[in-house]
Amino acid sequence: MSDIKIDTSKLGEKIVGVLKTIYDPEIPVDIYELGLIYDVFVNEDYDVKILMTLTTPNCPVAETLPLEVEEKVKSLNDVKSAEVEITFDPPWTHELMSEEAKLELGML
């Protein structure tokens, strides 16, 4: 019996879908459109690593948001493990937000 392999890029799309359900509690825009997700890596073993930032280093959700991201991504059936790495390089700025996020926040 052969294992059915799923395409890692398809899994990446599912992960982005999950990320778009997670919101910064202070801003009514999801963390993906907000530009807080810098990269999503999926290897052939379906281990996921997410490189993300926060709006500020002393963000009130600095402890809880990365854990929420990790737990929600781990809940996907095809994900074997998930790890979130926080970085402040480069620092987050409004320019990282999508046009949709800027429109939502009245910045366009």
- Looking at residue 73, which CATH number applies to its domain? 3.30.300.130
71 lies in some domain: yes
Planar angle of CA 28, 32, 34, nearest 5 degrees? 50
Tokens of 41: 């890596």
Tokens of 58: 């002393």
Q: Report how many domains make up the chain.
A: 1
101 lies in some domain: no
According to DSSP, residue 1 is labeled: -
24 lies in some domain: yes
100 lies in some domain: no
77 lies in some domain: yes
What distances in angstroms separate CA 74 from CA 14, 46, 77, one per listed residue? 12, 10, 8
Half-sphere exposure of 57 (CA within 13 A, CB side): 5
12 lies in some domain: yes
| Residue-wise pLDDT tens digits, 29-80 | 999 999 999 999 999 999 999 999 998 888 888 889 999 999 999 999 999 9
37 lies in some domain: yes
What span, in angstroms and rounded, lies between the C-alpha atoms of 32 and 83?
16
Taking only Cα atoms into account, the Rg of the chain, rounded to an integer number of angstroms, comes to 15
Domain that includes residue 44, residue range: 8-93
102 lies in some domain: no
pLDDT of residue 57: 85
- Specify the pTM: 0.89
